[in-house]
Amino acid sequence: MIASSALPLGALIGAWRPPPRAVTAALLGFASGALITAVAVELFQEALEHGGEGRAGVAFFAGATVFIVVDSWLDRRTEGQAAAGGSVGFALLAGVTLDGVPENLAMGIGLVESTSATLLVAIFASNLPEAIVGAQKMRGAGMTRGRVLSVWSVTAVLLGLAVVAGYGALEGLDHRSLAWPLGFAAGAVLASLADTLMPEAYKEGGPTVAYFTALGFLVSFLIAAA
C-alpha cells in the first residue's frame, strides 16, 4: 500500500500542479540511486547467498533479457498505436506497469526473507516521479484529470497485488530455489532502471542529476546498513 500510494499521489501532482522539470529530474535521479542499492543489497546479494554465483547469475541475465524483449515489443506496439491514433494513455499505463511489476514482485519476494525497507524506499521514490511525468504526458495528450487519476489508481492496485503475489507464491520455497526469483527480479529491475529512469532523469535535468543519483544510493544504502 505504501509503495503503490506514490502512483495516485504522483498523478495528482502531475495533473494538477506539475513541478518544474529540474525537480522532476532530481526525483528521478534519486530514485535511480535508491534502486541501485536495492538491486545490489536486497535482491542480487540474497540470490547469491542462496544459490551461488551460477544460479544467481543465470537468473539475473534471464530477468534482464525478459524485460528487454518485452519492453522492445511494447515500444513497437506504442509506435503502431500512435500511428493509428490509438490511446496514448493506455500505452503509458502498459509501460509503467511493465516497469513496476518486477519491482513489486521483488518486494514481495524480499518479504519472504526480511522487511525489505530499502526496496520499499526505492520503489516509492521511483513510483512518485514516474507518475508525475506520466500524468503530465497524459494531460498533454488530452486526457481529463479525472481519467488520469483513475488510470494511475488502477495501476497502483495492480502493482500492489504484484507484491502480494510475489510473497504468497514464494513463501514456501526453500532457500536455494529462492535464488531464481530473486536474481530474476534483480535483472529485470536493473534493466528497467537503465531503460527508463536514468535516461528520463538525464533528459529532464542534464548532468547534475548525477548528484541526486549518488544521494539516492547513499540514503538507501544507509537504510540497508542500519
- CB neighbourhood size of 146 (10 A): 9
pLDDT one digit per residue (tens) for the chain, 226 residues: 887 898 999 999 989 988 898 998 898 899 889 889 888 887 888 889 888 889 999 999 998 998 888 878 766 765 654 444 334 445 555 556 666 676 677 677 666 666 567 777 777 887 788 788 778 877 877 778 998 899 889 889 988 887 787 777 766 667 788 788 888 888 988 888 888 788 888 988 999 999 999 999 998 888 878 7
In whole angstroms, what is the distance from residue 23 CA to residue 88 CA?
A: 24
Residue with cell 511493465: 98
User: Which residue ranges make up each domain of the chain?
Assistant: 2-225
Q: Who's near 87: CB < 8 A, 6+ residues apart?
A: 81
SS (H, E, C) 23-90: HHHHHHHHHHHHHHHHHHHHHHHHHHHHHHHHHHHHHHHHHHHHHHHHHHHHHHHHHHHHHCCCCHHH
Q: Who's near 116: CB < 8 A, 6+ residues apart?
A: 42, 107, 110
Helix (H) / strand (E) containing 194: none
Give me the sign of the Cα torsion angle 92, 129, 166, 43: positive
CA distances in angstroms from 169 to 39, 49, 57, 112, 173, listed in the order given: 21, 21, 22, 10, 9
Q: What is the pLDDT of residue 207?
A: 93
